Structure 1
Amino acid sequence: MELLGYLGASLVGVSLGLLGGGGAILAVPLFVYFFSLPPSLATTYSLFVVGVSSLIGFARNFRQGQVDVKAGVYFAVPSFVGVLLVRRWLLPAIPDQWVWGPVLFNKEVVILSSFAVVMVMAALAMLLPRASSAQGPVAPAAFALKALGVGAVTGFVGAGGGFLIVPSLVRMSGLRMKVAVGTSLGVIAANSMLGFFGDLWARTPMDFVLLLKVGALAVAGIFVGSYWSQHTSEARLKPAFGIFVLLLGGLIIVQQALN
C-alpha cells in the first residue's frame, strides 16, 4: 500500500503541474488510505505538501508577472486568522466523540466527511464554468469575511482552497484569471505553511521521513506535469480530473455514512 501511496504523491504533483491547482485535494485521502494516518494528522501532513507545492507554483507565476501582490496580501491576512483560529482552538476543542440526540459523532469521521464535501465542491468548481469578469466594487468587510472563511476551510480540512480563492479574486478584485491563479497559489502556500508550522510548534507527532519523501515526490511531479502541460490541452484534462475528484469524494462520503 505504501508503494501506491508514493505513486499517488507523484500524481498529486503531476496534476498540480498540469492544471495549476486541484491536485492537493488528493493529499488527505492519500495519507489516510495509503499510509494509515488518522484524518486529523493527515491534514497536518497535507498542509506541508500543499504548502511546498503551491510555493513552487507561486514562484513560477511571480517570475512570469502573473501575481498581484497587493490583492494577495489583502486576502492572505484575514485567511491567516481563519487558519490560526481553527488549528489552534477549534480542532483541539472538538472531543474525540460526542452525542447529539440519538447520533454518536466521531472527530476523525467528521473531519474526513468534511474533507469529502470540500472535494465535491472542488470538483464542481472544475467542471462548471467560472466567472470571467469582476462583479464590481466589494465592501472590504465582505472581502475580509470571505478570506476568513477560506482560511478556516484550509485549517480544518488541510486543503488549500484554491477553488474558493480564485473566483473570489476574479469577482471581488477584478483580476484576470491567470493573475488570480498565481496570486491564489501565494495565499495557499502561506496559509498551508502557517498551519503546518503551527502544528509543529504545538509538538504534533510527525514522521518527518515520510513527510519529506511524499513532499519530494509531489515536487518532482510538478516539474513533470509542467512539462506535459506544454503539450496537453487543459480543456480536456480538467473535466476528467474533476470527475475523478467528484467520484472519490462521493465514495468517501458513502463510506463514512456506512461506518
Structure 2
Amino acid sequence: MLLVALPAGLLIGLTLGVLGAGGSILTIPVLVYLLGQDPHQATTASLIIVGLAAAAGAVVHGRAGRVRFGTGLVFGLLGAAGSYLGSRASAAVDPAVLLLGFAVLLLVAAMAMLPRLRRGRRQPPAPAGMSGTTITVVDRRLVVRTVAAATVVGLLTGFFGVGGGFIVVPALALALGLDTATAVGTSLVVITVNSATALASRVATQPLTLDWPLLAVFVVAAVAGVLAGNRVAGRLNSRQLTIAFVVLLVLVAGYTAATSLPL
C-alpha cells in the first residue's frame, strides 16, 4: 500500500501544482480502488490530503507573487456554507451512489478543462468594470456569478472531498480578470479554505476512522509533488498536459461508473 501511496501522492501533487486543478479529483479513485478505502472514508481523507497539499502550494506560489490571498480567502469564505452543507449531505448517501455521482463529476471536470485547450496561453480579457484585479464599477452580475461559483465549489468540496479547482481557476480568470498563473496560485488558497471548512463539519458530526500512517505518507508525497510541480510548471507544455489529464479523467470516470452501477 505504501508503494501505491507514494507515486499516487506525487502524481496528484504534481497535477495540482502545475494545473491548479484536477489533482484532488484523482484522490478519491486512488483511495477507493488502489488503497481499498470505504468511499465515505476516502472523501474525508481526501479533504486532509488536498487541503494540506494546496496550502503548501499556495505558500510556494505566493512567494513567487502568483497568489492574491485576499481574493482567495473571500472566495473560499463565500463557499463555506456550501462546503458545510455538502459534507453533511455526503454522510447520508449510499457509497455506490456517491461513487456514481463522482463518475459524473469526473466527466464534468473533463469538459470544464477543454476551454483551456482553445485559449492556449492567451490571457483572458478583464471583464467590464475590472482593471487588473481592481474593481472600478460594481457589476451585480459579476457578484452573482462569483458567489454562485464559490457556493458550487464549496458544495463539491464538502460532498465529494475534492478541491473544485477545475471550477475555481476559470472563475478567477474569467470573472475577476486574473491571469492564468495567478488564478492557479489563488485557487490553491480557495481549495485550502474549502477543505478546512468541510473537514471541520465532518469532525463535528462523525468520528474520524482513518488509516493515519498511510494518510501521512500520502500527504507527504502529495506536498512533495505540489512543490515539484510548482518548480517545473513553466517548463512544461500546458496544452499537452491538459489533453493527457482530460483523457485520464474520462478513463477513470468510465471505470468508476462501471464498478458502481448494479449488475
Of 215, 220, 229, the residue aligned with 1:216 is 220
SS in structure 2 of the partner of residue 21 of structure 1? coil
Query: 1:71 touches 1:173 (CA, 8 Å); kept in 2?
Result: no
Count of residue pairs the alignment pairs up: 246
1:37, distance to aligned residue in structure 2 (A): 1.2
Q: In structure 1, how many angstroms separate the alpha carbons of the residues matched to 2:13 and 2:99?
A: 22
Aligned to 1:244: 248
Counterpart amino acid of 2:95? E
- Structure 1, gaps ≥5 residues long: 96-106
Query: Secondary structure at 2:67's aligned position in 1?
Result: coil
CA separation of 1:176 and 1:153: change in aligned 2, threshold 3 A? same
1:150-209 superposed Cα distances (whole Å, 9 cap, x missing partner): 100111111100111112122222222222221111010111122223323432222211
Q: Deviations over 1:194-243 (max 9, x none)?
A: 22233234322222112111111111222333444454322222211221
What TM-score, normalized by structure 2, do the two folds share?
A: 0.84
What letter is aligned with 1:128?
P
Instruction: Tell me the residue number matched to 1:19.
Output: 19
Q: TM-score with structure 1 length normalisation?
A: 0.85
How far did residue 251 of structure 1 move? 2.0
Give the 3 Å change call, closer, same or farther, for CA 134–47 of structure 1 in structure 2: same
State the one-letter code of the partner of 1:64: A
Match of 1:183 among 186, 196, 200: 186
In terms of mean alpha carbon deviation, does 67-76 or 113-122 score higher? Answer: 67-76
| 8 Å CA contact 1:2, 1:34 repeated in 2 | no
**Mapped pair 1:173 → 2:160:** no
Letter in 1 for 2:90: L
Q: Mind listing any 5+ residue stretches in structure 2 that lack a counterpart? A: 129-138
Structure 1 runs (4+) greater than 4 angstroms displaced: none
Are the equivalent residues in 1 in contact too, given 2:29–2:252 (CA < 8 A)? Answer: no
SS in 1 for 2:79: helix
Alpha-carbon distance between aligned partners in 2 of 1:21 and 1:110, rounded to the nearest angstrom? 24
RMSD, aligned α-carbons: 2.2
Distance 1:144 1:18, change over 3 A: closer
